[in-house]
Amino acid sequence: MSHASFDLRGIPLVLHLNGPVDVPALLSACAAVAARHAVLGRVRVTRVETSPERYPEVATAEAARPFDLDRGPLARFTLVTVGQDRNRLIFTAHGRVFDASSKDILVRDLADAYFSRAALPRLPLPYGEPSAPRGALSVRQSEAFWRERAGEPAELVLPGLRANPHDVGPGEIVEMVLGRAEFEGFAAGATALGATRFELLLASLGVLLRRYGTAGSPIALDLGTRTGETRDHIGPFVAEVPFAPHPGPDEDLPTYLRTVQAELRALYRFRHLPPERTSRPVLFSYRRRAATPRFHGVGTGVEWTVFNGVARGALHLQAVDADRSLTLGLRFNPATIDHDDVSQIARYLRTLLRAIAAEPHARIAELPAPDPEPDEESVAAGSLSLDGAEGPVMTQMREIWQEILRPIPANAF
């Protein structure tokens, strides 16, 4: 495998199936999903058995296993049996053929194929055909729009930050969850401001960066590009675009939020023809996930946010909105910033979200300032997960990256 074809950008999820699973029907359902979504190409389906004690290591290694972009496949199912009537279906696909919102489609189609015990109808619109909305703007208009937003982003200021990478590298994660009470408070704040939860969360990220001392926006956004014709398609329907608004020191939150909303409306018009490359050190991704479909006769759960050992840029904030809770994952490269510093950023983000929920019309300068000391209430509540600690899988990931980054001899080609 050449260095150029070796890629770690997998998007994993895990389906928990507890009960008497019809294994042949489940494996047939995997094949039916692959046949329905031609973009997945050749899909590998394997089955293994392991003990409950070894399963976490097996699952993490499977999620982090790299892809060979030259030979494929770019999607794989692994059915892991961990005990009687206890199965875990691990799916991982490369970002060339899959995106985060594809997870909902995949699990829904799997459940339909498992229930019907039949092939799924192939989608009538082949992936890759022109799918921009009717009345879409011209390429020339799009190029002019993105040219106005081009340029180097502001220097990112975060506690303990040693560099501003823009590419994919080995990663760790700090994850936190807003439980029902916190989530409802934040949602009520968004409603009071006439905003969606996505809009207010994006504005909150801008406030956090401003309060740490970043003078301009260093943010790129992941925006979905599905249309009415492609809403049921698996694929990479996402555009990474620069986000320009940044709060002024004397603004109040409603004023800044209106600027955020206006920019989003402009970005939505041009997201189907995004810039060729967006180079920003902070990436923000948000999605509202669907409810977990039922697999007939089997208890079902889904791990929607499985970490794959990879980070993009200096900081990648991923938000998954489940309508009753909000999961926030802060991915980072440990060569760039330490785990403790990212944990501090996560605690401060929680503090800001609480403050905004309590006083959504506050001036930005009046919101809490960063505090280097841990929030004892957050730590005591156990809602900050300090994932990413060094272990066998993280050691394996570091070895993989050392091999990728190893200088290639001049006579290797």
- pLDDT tens digits for range 276-287: 888 899 999 999
> How confident is residue 9, by pLDDT bands cut at 50, 70 and 90?
confident
pLDDT at residue 382 above 80?
Answer: no
In 196-249, DSSP assigns E strands to: 219-224, 238-243
Which DSSP string corresponds to 99-158? -TTHHHHHHHHHHHHHHHTSPPPPPSS-TTS--PPTTPPPHHHHHHHHHHT-SPPPPP--
What are the structural domains, with CATH classification, of the chain? 3-116 (3.30.559.10), 140-405 (3.30.559.30)
Q: Which amino acid is at 405?
A: L
Neighbour count for residue 202 (Cβ, 10 Å): 25
Q: Is the pLDDT of residue 388 over 80?
A: no
Q: Coil, strand or helix: which one is 271? A: coil
> Residue 409's pLDDT is what?
36
Distance in angstroms (rounded) separating the CA atoms of residues 208 and 189: 17
Selection from 82, 76, 77, 63 nearest residue 18 by Cα: 82
Q: Quick one: which of 267, 312, 281, 279 has its CA closest to 151?
A: 279
Residue 339 has pLDDT above 90, yes or no: yes
pLDDT of residue 7: 66
Determine the pLDDT at residue 79.
Answer: 97
Closest CA to 343 of 369, 365, 315: 315
Mean pLDDT of the chain: 86
pLDDT band, residue 373 (cuts 50/70/90) = low
**Virtual CA dihedral for 124, 126, 127, 128, nearest 10 degrees?**
-140
CB 292 within 8 A of CB 270: no
Task: Give the tens place of pLDDT for each residue, 29-47.
Answer: 999 999 999 999 999 999 9
Report which listed range, 124-138, 160-174, 183-197, 292-306, is most confident: 183-197
Q: What is the pLDDT of residue 396?
A: 44
C-alpha–C-alpha distance, residues 179 and 242, integer Å? 30
Amino acid at position 98, single letter? F
pLDDT at 134 over 70: no
Q: What's the pLDDT at 310?
A: 87
**Strand pairing category for 10-18 and 86-94:** antiparallel
- Give the Cα separation of 367 and 251 in Å (integer): 11
Return d(Cα 266, Cα 157) in angstroms, integer.
27
Q: Using a CB cutoff of 8 Å and minimum separation of 24, what contacts does 56-59 make? A: 57/392, 57/393, 59/14, 59/88, 59/90, 59/306
Q: How many CB atoms lie within 10 A of CB 168?
A: 16
Would you state the structure tokens that stand for residue 44, as one six-digit string? 């590998």
Given pLDDT bands bounded at 50, 70 and 90, which one contains residue 89? very high
Q: Which two tokens stand for residue 401?
A: 């990256």
Query: Which candidate, 94, 83, 93, places its Cα nearest to that of 20?
Result: 83
pLDDT, tens digit (0-9, with 9 covering 90-100), for 209-228 = 999 999 999 999 999 999 88
**What is the phi/psi pair of residue 403, to 5°?**
-70, -40
CA 53-55-61 angle, 5° bins: 130
Q: What confidence score (pLDDT) does residue 3 get?
A: 41
For residues 170 and 185, give the distance between their C-alpha atoms in angstroms, rounded to a whole number. 35
Residue 8: band (very low, low, confident or very high) from pLDDT cuts 50, 70, 90: low
- φ, ψ (nearest 5 deg) of residue 147: -65, -35
pLDDT tens readout for residues 137-158: 688 899 999 999 888 888 999 9
Q: Hey, CA dihedral for 383, 384, 390, 395, is it positive or negative?
A: positive
pLDDT tens digit string along 254-267? 999 999 999 999 99
CA atoms within 13 A on the CB side of 174: 24
193: Cα separation from own chain's centroid:
26
**Residue whose entry in the numeric block shows the structure tokens 């923000």:** 284
Kind plus residue range of the DSSP H or E element containing 287: strand 282-288
Res. 398: pLDDT tops 50: no
- Closest by CA position to 162, among listed 314, 389, 346, 390: 314
Q: Cα 181 vs. chain centroid, distance in angstroms?
A: 24
Element (DSSP H or E) covering residue 185:
helix 180-192
* 46 C-beta neighbours (distance < 10 Å), count: 12
